[in-house]
């Protein structure tokens, strides 16, 4: 129990930055737009997103039901499934752009 509380104290709070689910999605859409503007291919953007998600899952506390679900899915997924998750988000956010 104390370890969990200590972990919570030291983790990064992503929601302090994004505020809510819609703002988080907007931030991701903007990142896709910036990547494309820099000339990155879709696969390069997805690779960056995969590595960044690995980092977030390891270091960010899930503070919403959506974050907790994504974290649980990511941790349960193998490498190919993680790529599929990123591809689905990419497709979903690209359609909204």
Which pTM was predicted? 0.74
62-78 pLDDT tens trace: 777 888 898 899 999 99
- Whole-number mean pLDDT of the chain? 82
The residues near 31 (Cβ < 8 Å, ≥ 6 apart) are 45, 49
The better pLDDT of the pair 53, 3 is held by 53
What pLDDT shows up at residue 79?
94
Domain ranges of the chain: 20-96
Q: Is the pLDDT of residue 95 over 90?
A: no
Fold held by 20-96: Cytochrome Bc1 Complex; Chain D, domain 2 (1.10.760)
The three-class DSSP label of residue 61 is coil
Report the candidate in 21, 20, 38 with the shortest Cα–Cα distance to residue 89.
21
Q: Confidence class of residue 13 from pLDDT cuts 50, 70 and 90?
A: low
Q: Give the phi and the psi of residue 35 in degrees, each rounded to 5.
A: -60, -45
């Amino acid at each position: 129990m104390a370890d969990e509380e200590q972990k919570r104290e030291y983790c990064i709070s992503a929601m302090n930055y994004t505020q809510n689910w819609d703002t988080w999605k907007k931030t991701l859409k903007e990142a896709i737009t910036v990547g494309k503007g820099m000339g990155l291919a879709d696969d390069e953007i997805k690779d960056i997103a995969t590595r960044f998600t690995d980092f977030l899952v390891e270091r960010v506390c899930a503070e919403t039901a959506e974050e907790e679900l994504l974290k649980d899915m990511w941790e349960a997924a193998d490498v190919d499934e993680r790529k599929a998750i990123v591809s689905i988000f990419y497709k979903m956010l690209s359609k909204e752009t």
